Amino acid sequence: MPVIHNPILRGFNPDPSILRVGDDYYIATSTFEFHPAVRLHHSRDLVHWTTIGHALDAGFDLRGIPDSGGVWAPSLSYADGRFWLAYSVVRTMDGDDKDIDNYLVTAPSIHGPWSAPVHLGSRGFDFSFFHDPDGTHWIVGVQWDQRPEHPSFSGLVVEQYLADGQRTTGDAIRVYREEGLVEGPNLYRVGEWYHLLIAAGGTGWNHGITIARSRNLLGPYERDAREAVLTTRDDPGHPLQKAGHGELVQAPDGQWWLVHLASRPTLHLGERYSTLGRETCLQRVVFDDDGWLRLADGGHHASVDVVIGGEGEDAASGPRGWTDDFSAGALDRTRWSTLRAALPASTADLDARPGWLRLRGGHSAASVFDQSMILTRVEEHRASFDVLLDAEPRTPREAAGPIAWYDRSGWIQLQLTHDDENGRHLRVVRRDGSTTTRSGPIAAPDGPLRLRLSLDGPGLRFAWARADSEEWMPVPGVHPAWTLSDDHGPRLRFTGLFFGVRADDLDGRGWTADIGRVAVRFDPDVDG
User: How far is residue 100's CA from residue 103's CA, in Å, rounded to a whole number?
Assistant: 10
Handedness of CA 26, 109, 82, 342 (dihedral sign): positive
Does residue 29 contact residue 13 with C-beta atoms inside 8 Å? yes
How far from 242 is each of 15, 187, 260, CA to CA, in Å?
A: 12, 22, 10
Can you spell out the DSSP letters for 106-151? EESSTT-PPPPPEE--SSEEEEEEEE-TTS-EEEEEEEE---TTS-
User: How far is residue 211's CA from residue 189's CA, in Å, rounded to a whole number?
Assistant: 13
Three-state DSSP at 165 gives helix
Cα dihedral 495/278/86/333 (nearest 10)? 70
Does residue 137 contact residue 129 with C-beta atoms inside 8 Å? yes
Does residue 159 contact residue 168 with C-beta atoms inside 8 Å? yes
User: How far is residue 306's CA from residue 37's CA, in Å, rounded to a whole number?
Assistant: 30
Q: Active-site residues: which are they?
A: 15, 183
User: How far is residue 119's CA from residue 105's CA, in Å, rounded to a whole number?
Assistant: 9
How far from 11 is each of 35, 56, 280, 381, CA to CA, in Å?
A: 16, 20, 8, 9
